[in-house]
Amino acid sequence: MAISRDEIEKVALLARIKTSDEEARSLESNVSNILDLVDQLQSADTDQVEPLAHPLDAVGQLRDDTVTETNQRAAFQRIAPATEDGLYLVPQVIE
């Protein structure tokens, strides 16, 4: 699949990237090569291949879900500017 010089210039304009004529020619060639590679990958038969979440059969190490810190809620509530019924009161920011 080829990409035109106009498309390269349009993308560069949208991305706010200034390109010289030489850079635009180079980009046109490079992007066309990348799109050709994508076309090759699209043509691969993957009907019998199951999707993978990860290429390796690795299992993550999980830690126990245990509390490791003490409850300091009362101390934090004492230093807060405004609290009510265990909740922090904040100024309204949306009308």
Number of domains in the chain: 1
- Asked whether residue 92 is domain-assigned, the answer is no
pLDDT for 74 equals 93
- Asked whether residue 56 is domain-assigned, the answer is no
pLDDT in tens, 44-59: 998 998 888 777 877 7
- Asked whether residue 52 is domain-assigned, the answer is no
**For range 6-10, the mean pLDDT:** 92
Maximal C-alpha separation, the chain: 68
pLDDT in tens, 25-84: 999 999 999 999 999 999 999 899 888 877 787 777 888 999 999 999 999 999 999 999
Compute, in degrees rounded to 10, the torsion defined by CA atoms 38, 44, 45, 49: -80
pLDDT for 2 equals 83
Q: Which domain covers residue 19, as residue numbers?
A: 5-42
pLDDT for 22 equals 92
What is the CATH classification number for the domain harbouring 17? 1.10.20
* CA 64 to chain CA mean position, Å: 29
